Amino acid sequence: MKKSLHDRGVIARYGAFLPVSEATPVVSLNEGSTPLIHSPKLSERAGAEVYLKFEGLNPTGSFKDRGMTVALSKAVERGATTVICASTGNTSAAAAAYAARAGIRCAVILPAGKIAAGKLVQAFAYGARVVAIRGNFDDALRIVREFGGVEGVAIVNSINPDRIEGQKTASFEIIEELGEAPDLHILPVGNAGNITAYWKGYREFQAAGRSAKLPKMVGFQAEGAAPIFRGHPVDPHTVATAIRIGNPASWEGATTAIQESGGGIDIVTDHQILDAQQWLASHEGIFVEPASAASVAGLLKRLSPEATQADSLPRHKGAKIVLTVTGHGLKDPEAPVKHGGFVPIEADADLTAVRRVLDKS
Ligand code: F0G
């Protein structure tokens, strides 16, 4: 692959495991190498070592950058002049940024009125053509699929295998950091590309002798957008707009990951998601978007006294649990502001007045 000394992204780090060659022009923003942050408070509650893979610290604020560096590099290598994707917001932000970096056009097809403000701004700022359809993500993806085969156009949704290839590198990083795979990996599930990618990554590193074990993969969907949990497509509704998906493209990949790993698929309510988001920010200093908090909400659900599947949590000494938190909280300020009723306390501009309101709150 044609990489320069400046490249520090996932292709530079894991090119040997990716579909790139000397002929591949690397389109990178130094994505990946995100922190795996130990959570003392979740660890104490779980009786295991709990870590958060904070993917919100990627260049466009979500895990999508890992797949997009590979997808754009390969698209340019194949001569594409335009990339197109359907998105609930993060994929479109990443596609637009990497297309800008590559100097090619980007079109994004989004469900009107259902994209978090920060993500929509990103698509425009990075210079994408933005089309808002009167329909949901699943409708947008149907339209994008119809662009398949159009000369010069590359689809960069996770139905493009290059995306899955890039995203699997998160598993590599976790294994390198922990010395082996964790016992349990929890992540939010929407279109199901990420759970598919993580499982592929864990299996590849195991095959390469880098980890003796494999984790159980447990996915959480929002209660109102839980087609895999329910076993049939649904009309999706959830405050976690990133995972507002009724008919996931990588359904089969998710099923394989869950079955082969002995994991599971479960649901969390919007209320549990927003509570978990606020808890994580105010107790561990990690602010993630609502969809990302589904993994934290999921762990907390399994730890609650009413949990019916608590037995699936690893309880042995030194057990490790990794939660992927997929996107940054700043992308979607509206939902937590509403949920938390966040308003500043007003005060006159003097010390006495400020101390008075601080003492009261
Ligand atoms: N978390 C966030 C923040 C997401 O943006 C997504 C998906 C997911 C979780 C779920 O990942 O789809 O691989 O199961 N966002 C896509 C998008 C659909 O268009 O940005 P998944």
DSSP letters spanning 143-170: HHHTTTT-TTEEE-STTSHHHHHHHTHH
3-state secondary structure of 317: coil
Question: pLDDT digits over 270-306, tens only?
Answer: 999 999 999 999 999 999 999 999 999 999 999 988 7
Q: Above 60 in pLDDT, residue 311?
A: no
Q: Above 60 in pLDDT, residue 180?
A: yes
194 lines ligand 1 (CB under 6 A): yes
The domain defined by 10-62+163-339 folds into Rossmann fold (3.40.50)
Question: pLDDT digits over 203-217, tens only?
Answer: 999 999 999 999 999
Predicted pLDDT at 309: 62
**Ligand 1 center to residue 135 CA distance, Å?**
18
Predicted pLDDT at 288: 98
3-state secondary structure of 292: helix
Residues of the chain with CATH 3.40.50.1100: 10-62+163-339, 64-159
138 lines ligand 1 (CB under 6 A): no
Q: Distance (Å, rounded) from C-alpha 121 to C-alpha 228?
A: 31
Q: Which CATH class, in words, describes the domain spanning 64-159?
A: alpha beta
- Shortest-distance atom of ligand 1 to CA 194: 13
**Ligand 1 center to residue 67 CA distance, Å?**
12
240 lines ligand 1 (CB under 6 A): no
Locate all alpha helices (DSSP H) within the chain, ordered by sequence. Answer: 10-14, 40-46, 64-77, 90-102, 117-125, 137-145, 161-167, 169-178, 193-207, 227-230, 251-261, 270-284, 290-303, 334-340, 351-360
- β-strands 49-54, 36-38 pairing: antiparallel
157 lines ligand 1 (CB under 6 A): no
188 lines ligand 1 (CB under 6 A): yes
Q: Distance (Å, rounded) from C-alpha 312 to C-alpha 216?
A: 9
- Shortest-distance atom of ligand 1 to CA 93: 20
What average pLDDT does the chain have? 96
**Cβ pair 338, 277 in contact under 8 A:** no
89 lines ligand 1 (CB under 6 A): yes
291 lines ligand 1 (CB under 6 A): yes
- Shortest-distance atom of ligand 1 to CA 90: 20
247 lines ligand 1 (CB under 6 A): no
